[in-house]
C-alpha cells in the first residue's frame, strides 16, 4: 500500500473489498509523514496513536459499506475544531487550545469512517497567501522546497501533494483552498456559501468563509464534499438545499458537449506570467476539445474585487477576533496587573503582525467617521460583483479563469510586502464576495519554473455537481502531473 500513488476512491474500494486493511493504509500514511514531514512541515499536530487505534478497531469491526469514507486517512486545516486534538489556527493565541467539541464537518467525517491523522498548518487565522504567517512552523512546497505551498490552506495542499494523506478539508475566504491547491498541484473546491456548515470552523470573515475539500483528484474531492455538505441547525447560514451524490454523478458526463464556458476578458487579458498564460491557454484548448463552447463574458467590477474583499474581510476579522482576549480562550499574559493592560499585552503578544494589521484596519474601516467611505462602499461594490456574476451566468454555465497570475514563489519573497501578497487573490476573491462555487484542478507544469499551475472554474450557487463533472472530464484531457520533484528519492 503506497499512500503516495493511492487515491482516496481507489483505496476505499480496496478496503471495502477486503484487499487491504485500514491499519495498512493508516500505517502507510504515517510512514510517509515520517519520511516527508521534516522537509515540508505540513502538519502542526499528528495523531499517530489514536489513528492506529482507530484503524485497529475498524479492522476488527470489518468494512462498513454504508460509510463512504471508511478507513480513509485525512487531515484537517487547523482552523477546524477537533475535540481530541488542539486547534491552533496557526497562532500563539491558541497554541495549547483544544476545543471541547468537534466542528460539524469533523463529526460528519468521523461518522463516515474517516480517520483524522492530524491538523494541517495554515497562515495565522487563515490570513495570508503563503502559509508564512503561521506562528508555529514553516511549510514548504513539495515541488520545490525553496518555495511556498501557497495559503492559507498551505499545509493541507502540501500534505496531499506529498502523499501524507488521501485528502484534507481547507477553508477559503478569498482563495485559500484554490490558491494553495494550484501551487501544489492538487484539486481544491470552494463550495457555495452555506453548502458546508461553519459550525466549529473558527471564523475569519464570516460572510466569506467556506470549508471545502482538497485531494489528489476530482473524484476524491467529490467523495469528501458529499460527506461534509448539507444543512446544519447549528449554523444559521447553512443552506437547506439537498446534497447530490457528487461522486456517482461524476459518471453522468463523458464530455463537455453543450456546456458554455465564459471567459471574462478581465481575467484573461491582465498581467499573467507567460508560463502561466501558456499552461492556462492550453487548458482552454482542452476545454474546447472536450466539446465545450467558449463565450466571452464581462465582469466589469472584477478589478475592484481585491479592494472590496480586504475591507470586508478585515472588518469581519476585527470583530470575530475580539473574542480572543485572554479571558475565554488560549493565551493569557500573566504579567499584567490590571484588566486593560492584560487585554493589550495578551493581544499584542499572541497575535502575529498580519493579524494585528488586519484588526487595526478592520476597526478603522468600521469606525464612525470612515464607515461610509470604506465598509459601506465595499459592501456596495460586493453587490455589484455579485450582479456581474449573475449576469454572466445568463450567457454561460461556468466561468473559466487562471487561479493565480504566477506559480508558487520563493519563501520570503513577498512576506514583507503585504500589498503584493493581497494582489495574489485577484482571480479568486470575487467568487467569495459573490458567495458562489469554484474549483481548481492542475493544468500542467510551468515551462520555466517547473511548478504546477492550476485552472479555475466558477459556477453559480449550488453548481458543485456541474463543476465537479466538468473538472472530472477535463482531468482526462490535461497532462497528468508527475510526483513532486523535491520528494523523489
260 torsion bin: left (phi>0), alpha (psi -120 to 50), beta (else): beta
Residue 210 is a binding residue for ligand GLN (CB under 6 A): no
φ, ψ for residue 13, nearest 5 deg: -65, -40
Distance CA 408, CA 371 (A): 36
HSE (CB half, 13 Å, CA atoms) of 427?
Answer: 30
Given 36, 45, 129, 449, the residue binding ligand GLN (CB under 6 A)? 129
Minimum distance of ligand GLN from residue 204's CB (angstroms): 6
Rounded Cα gap, residues 309 and 173, in angstroms = 9
Told to check if 144 binds ligand GLN by CB under 6 A, we report: no
Question: Is residue 176 a contact point for ligand GLN (CB under 6 A)?
Answer: yes
Terminal CA-CA length for the chain: 17
Q: Which stretch binds ligand GLN (CB under 6 A): 108-116, 141-149, 173-181, 287-295?
A: 173-181
| Residue (of 241, 250, 44) closest to 158 by Cα position | 44
Stretch that binds ligand GLN, among 7-15, 123-131, 296-304, 468-476 (CB under 6 A): 123-131
Sign of CA dihedral 211, 216, 217, 220: negative
Give the separation between CA 350 and CA 88, rounded to whole angstroms. 12
Contact 400, 263 (CB under 8 A): yes
- Choice among 68, 130, 176, 401 that is catalytic: 176
71 vs 128, beta carbon nearer ligand GLN: 128
**What would the x/- binding string for ligand GLN be over residues 299 to 328, using CB under 6 A?**
--------------x---------------
Query: From its phi and psi, is residue 230 left (phi > 0), alpha (psi between -120 and 50) or beta?
Result: left
- Does 152 interact with ligand GLN (rule: CB under 6 A)? yes
Number of Cβ within a 10 Å radius of residue 1:
18
Q: Could you tell me the smallest distance in angstroms from the CB atom of residue 429 to ligand GLN?
A: 7
- Of the residues 425, 433, 469, 473, which one makes contact with ligand GLN according to CB under 6 A: 425
DSSP-derived letter for residue 374 is I
Least distance from ligand GLN to the Cβ atom of residue 20, Å = 35
Of 6, 73, 142, 175, the one binding ligand GLN (CB under 6 A) is 175
77 is known as an active-site residue: yes
| Contact map string, positions 341 to 380, toward ligand GLN, x by CB under 6 A | ----------------------------------------
In the complex with ligand GLN, the residue whose CB is nearer, 126 or 396, is 126
Check: CB of residue 311 under 8 Å from CB of residue 320.
no
Among residues 152, 156, 197, 430, which one is catalytic?
152
Q: Which is nearer to ligand GLN, 193 or 204 (CB)?
A: 204
Binds ligand GLN by CB under 6 A, chosen from 24, 78, 132, 172: 172
Handedness of CA 341, 342, 345, 347 (dihedral sign): negative
- Read out DSSP for 181-199? HHHHT-EEEEPPTTSB--T
Q: Of residues 174, 200, 438, 460, which one binds ligand GLN by CB under 6 A? A: 174
Does the footprint of ligand GLN cover residue 121 (CB under 6 A)?
no
Number of residues engaging ligand GLN in binding (CB under 6 A) = 14
Establish whether 248 is a catalytic residue: no
What is the dihedral sign for C-alpha 171, 174, 177, 180?
negative
What is the smallest separation between the CB atom of 2 and ligand GLN, expressed in angstroms?
32
Catalytic residue among 3, 21, 67, 77: 77
Strand 210-215 with 187-190, pairing? antiparallel
**Nearest residue (CB) to ligand GLN, 71 versus 402:** 402
Provide the sign of the torsion angle of the four alpha carbons 213, 402, 477, 164, taken in this order: negative
Backbone φ and ψ for 205, nearest 5 degrees, come out as -115, 100
Residue 150 binds ligand GLN (CB under 6 A): no
Active-site residues, by number, are 77, 152, 176
Which residues of the chain form contacts with ligand GLN (CB under 6 A)? Answer: 126-129, 152, 171-176, 204, 313, 425
Amino acid at each position: 500500500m503506497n499512500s503516495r500513488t493511492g487515491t482516496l476512491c481507489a483505496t476505499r474500494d480496496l478496503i471495502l473489498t477486503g484487499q487491504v486493511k485500514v491499519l495498512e493504509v493508516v500505517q502507510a500514511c504515517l510512514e510517509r509523514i515520517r519520511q516527508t514531514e521534516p522537509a515540508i512541515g505540513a502538519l502542526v499536530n499528528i495523531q499517530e496513536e489514536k489513528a492506529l487505534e482507530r484503524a485497529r478497531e475498524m479492522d476488527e469491526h470489518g468494512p462498513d459499506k454504508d460509510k463512504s469514507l471508511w478507513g480513509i486517512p485525512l487531515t484537517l486545516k487547523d482552523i477546524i475544531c477537533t475535540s481530541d486534538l488542539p486547534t491552533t489556527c496557526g497562532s500563539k493565541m491558541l497554541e495549547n487550545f483544544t476545543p471541547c467539541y468537534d466542528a460539524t464537518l469533523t463529526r460528519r467525517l468521523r461518522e463516515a469512517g474517516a480517520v483524522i491523522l492530524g491538523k494541517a498548518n495554515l497562515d495565522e487565522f487563515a490570513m495570508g497567501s503563503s502559509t508564512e504567517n503561521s506562528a508555529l512552523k514553516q511549510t514548504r512546497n513539495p515541488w520545490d522546497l525553496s518555495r511556498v505551498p501557497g495559503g492559507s490552506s498551505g499545509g493541507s495542499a502540501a500534505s496531499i501533494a506529498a502523499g501524507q494523506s488521501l485528502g484534507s478539508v481547507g477553508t477559503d475566504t478569498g482563495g485559500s483552498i484554490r490558491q494553495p491547491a494550484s501551487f501544489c498541484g492538487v484539486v481544491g473546491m470552494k463550495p457555495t456559501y452555506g453548502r458546508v456548515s461553519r459550525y466549529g470552523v473558527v471564523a475569519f470573515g464570516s460572510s466569506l468563509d467556506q470549508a471545502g475539500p482538497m485531494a489528489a483528484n476530482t473524484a476524491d474531492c467529490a467523495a469528501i464534499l458529499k460527506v461534509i455538505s448539507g444543512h446544519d441547525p447549528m449554523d444559521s447560514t447553512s443552506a437547506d438545499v439537498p446534497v447530490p451524490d457528487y461522486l456517482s454523478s461524476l459518471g453522468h458526463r463523458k464530455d463537455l458537449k453543450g456546456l458554455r464556458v465564459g471567459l471574462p476578458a478581465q481575467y484573461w487579458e491582465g498581467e499573467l506570467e507567460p508560463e502561466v498564460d501558456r499552461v492556462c491557454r492550453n487548458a482552454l484548448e482542452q476545454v474546447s476539445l472536450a466539446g465545450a463552447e467558449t463565450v466571452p463574458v464581462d465582469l466589469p467590477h472584477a478589478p475592484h474585487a481585491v479592494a472590496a474583499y480586504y475591507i470586508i474581510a478585515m472588518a469581519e476579522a476585527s470583530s470575530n477576533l475580539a473574542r480572543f482576549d485572554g479571558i475565554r480562550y488560549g493565551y493569557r499574559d500573566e504579567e499584567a496587573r490590571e484588566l486593560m493592560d492584560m487585554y493589550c499585552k495578551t493581544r499584542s503578544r499572541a497575535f502575529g503582525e498580519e493579524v494585528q494589521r488586519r484588526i487595526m484596519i478592520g476597526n478603522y474601516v468600521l469606525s464612525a467617521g470612515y464607515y461610509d467611505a470604506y465598509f459601506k462602499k465595499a459592501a456596495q461594490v460586493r453587490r455589484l460583483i455579485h450582479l456581474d456574476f449573475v449576469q454572466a451566468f445568463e450567457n454561460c454555465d461556468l466561468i473559466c479563469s487562471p487561479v493565480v497570475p504566477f506559480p508558487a514563489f520563493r519563501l520570503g519573497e513577498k512576506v514583507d510586502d503585504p500589498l503584493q501578497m493581497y494582489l495574489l487573490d485577484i482571480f479568486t476573491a470575487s467568487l467569495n464576495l459573490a458567495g458562489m462555487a469554484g474549483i481548481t484542478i492542475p493544468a500542467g507544469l510551468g515551462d520555466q519554473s517547473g511548478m504546477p499551475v492550476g485552472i479555475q472554474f466558477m459556477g453559480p450557487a449550488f453548481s458543485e455537481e456541474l463543476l465537479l463533472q466538468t473538472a472530472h472530464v477535463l482531468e482526462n484531457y490535461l497532462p497528468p502531473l508527475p510526483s513532486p520533484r523535491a520528494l523523489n528519492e
